[in-house]
Amino acid sequence: MAFPHDIKKISPTVWELPVHYKEGMLVPARIYATEKLLMAMDEGVFEQVSNVACLPGILKYAFCMPDGHWGYGFPIGGVAAMDPVTGVISPGGIGFDINCGMRLVLTNLTHEEVAPRIHELVDALFNRIPTGVGCKGFIKVSQSEFRDVLEEGSKWCLKKGFARPEDIEVTEEGGCFAGAESSSISDKAIERGIDQIGTLGSGNHYCEIQVAKDVNVFDEIIAKKFGFTVPNQVVVMFHCGSRGFGHQVATDYLKLFLQVMGSKYKINIRDRELACAPFHSKEGQLYFSAMKCAVNMAFANRQVILYRIREVFSRIFSKSPEDLGMDMIYDVAHNTAKLETHIINGATKEILVHRKGSTRAFGPVMEGIPSVYREIGQPVIIGGSMETGSYLLAGLETGAETFYTTAHGSGRTMSRHEAKKNVRGKKLQQDMEARGIYVRTDSWGGLAEEAGSAYKNIDEIAESTELAGLSRRVVKLVPIGNIKG
């Protein structure tokens, strides 16, 4: 498509829609992308990011990352920081799958050791990690215990034996957003989430066995500090979130915000999907607490999945997870709103950062990074399609402009409906296996939706974040096995 008529090129990777682009914009909107990626973006990106720029209390710019595409309210890849005093909180700036995130786990196994057993590994993972719409986990908890999960996140898993202390240390925010109060959660949300701990779900969620081929290492020094010390090393990456629980939380509070936004707070917005409430209002604080509950549920969900992954590898290779070197590199969240301290107009200020389909990417020496990574920057995980590969990157000190935020994935170029029209799931599985990628799924239609052709080029996305100074490429990870919902 053609550029919007008055978009301004700030740099080879930064493009700006000025405040006069649309009536009501309070700040400019900035899109981080190469010209090639920008030209491929759907019109919804420009419409939505400029709508975000109209929200009360927004600071500096409304942003969209290189993987940006149309979403609910915010574009996927959207970022916006609000003044907590004058600004709002919006579920559309966080998403329905709250804390949909990525986790990356090392092994000391080589490709040569794993390849002969890839069918056995993938089949075992598929049998041990529930996938698909409505799937239920093996952990049975009472409503009271589930509320503990919502308030404690990964720390609950540690108490129950599903986590190691070092797992908690390398999970964003220690695997728990403080201040989550389960009293802000509806009975319906509890009902939807209580059986879903330790489940992958559906859509673009996956668990993937990958190889860090020597030729795909971009920064050997940082790669070694992240734990890549074996030639053609095998790792496990997985992507999932808060499942139906997070969806219900978003649904509950969108309905509430639509009721009070205009009548009580006199807020007018350009798009109902950006329904919001003043951050410090009663409704805003209730949602902030509920969102944290969903964030914590997602951290616990991923932690229990890791427990299952370690079980599978241990059984198949007849070694303990410790002997297999199955240490976490990092767990990073997408789809959150967080109070963070940043420099605004030369002064240190606490702000509310919405990240919708985008990844926190703190630079070296910043508070909030695990001590083991303090000198090199936060690990950043950008997941690609199941056919192409993913990236491990590191945050940079030059990322301040976007509140230290970068891309979260490759970004769709094709709707799920269109992908299912163009791709046959069974044939895709056969073609992938012929190329050395063994995949299991509970839905051929769901597999077709996730074909590589439905996504942007992950290499271009990762490179563009580096060119823009948002994150540094460390290693590309190539899939050899995958389970999909």
Q: Binding residue per annotation — 335?
A: yes
Q: Binding residue per annotation — 97?
A: yes
| Whole-angstrom distance, CA of residue 458 vs CA of residue 20 | 33
Q: Binding residue per annotation — 206?
A: yes
Q: Binding residue per annotation — 408?
A: yes
| Whole-angstrom distance, CA of residue 121 vs CA of residue 99 | 27
Active site (annotated) includes residue 408? yes
Q: Binding residue per annotation — 20?
A: no
Q: Binding residue per annotation — 334?
A: yes
Q: Binding residue per annotation — 438?
A: no
Which secondary structure element, helix H or strand E, spans residue 430, and what is its range?
A: helix 425-434
Q: Binding residue per annotation — 239?
A: yes
Q: Binding residue per annotation — 135?
A: no
3-state secondary structure of 49: helix
Q: Binding residue per annotation — 247?
A: no
Nearest by Cα to 381 from 457, 476, 308: 476
Q: Binding residue per annotation — 208?
A: yes
* Residue 367: Cβ within 10 Å count: 8
Task: Give 394's strand partners.
Answer: 379, 472
| Whole-angstrom distance, CA of residue 3 vs CA of residue 6 | 8
Contact 402/443 with Cβ under 8 angstroms?
Answer: no
* The dihedral sign for the CA sequence 64, 69, 74, 76: negative
Which secondary structure element, helix H or strand E, spans residue 17, and what is its range?
A: strand 14-17
Q: Binding residue per annotation — 411?
A: yes
Based on the number of CB atoms within 10 Å of its own CB, is 43 exposed (0-12), middle (13-18) or buried (19 or more)?
Answer: exposed
Q: DSSP labels for 227-294?
A: T--STTEEEEEEEE--HHHHHHHHHHHHHHHHHHTTTTT----S-GGG--EETTSHHHHHHHHHHHHH
- Active-site annotation holder among 69, 247, 354, 408: 408
Q: Binding residue per annotation — 452?
A: no
3-state secondary structure of 85: coil
Q: Binding residue per annotation — 72?
A: no
Which secondary structure element, helix H or strand E, spans residue 473, and what is its range?
A: strand 471-484
Helix axes 118-128, 282-317, angle to 10 degrees: 140
Q: Binding residue per annotation — 385?
A: yes
> Assign residue 203 a region: left if phi > 0, alpha if psi is -120 to 50, beta otherwise?
left
* Residue 365: Cβ within 10 Å count: 11
Q: Binding residue per annotation — 99?
A: no
Q: Binding residue per annotation — 410?
A: yes
CA distances from 412 to 135, 333, 381, 466 (A): 25, 19, 17, 20
Q: Binding residue per annotation — 445?
A: no
Q: Binding residue per annotation — 184?
A: no
Catalytic residues: 408
Known binding site for Mn(2+): residues?
A: 97, 205, 239, 334
Known binding site: residues?
A: 97, 204-208, 239, 334-335, 383-386, 390, 408-411, 484
Known binding site for GMP: residues?
A: 204-208, 334-335, 383-386, 390, 408-411, 484
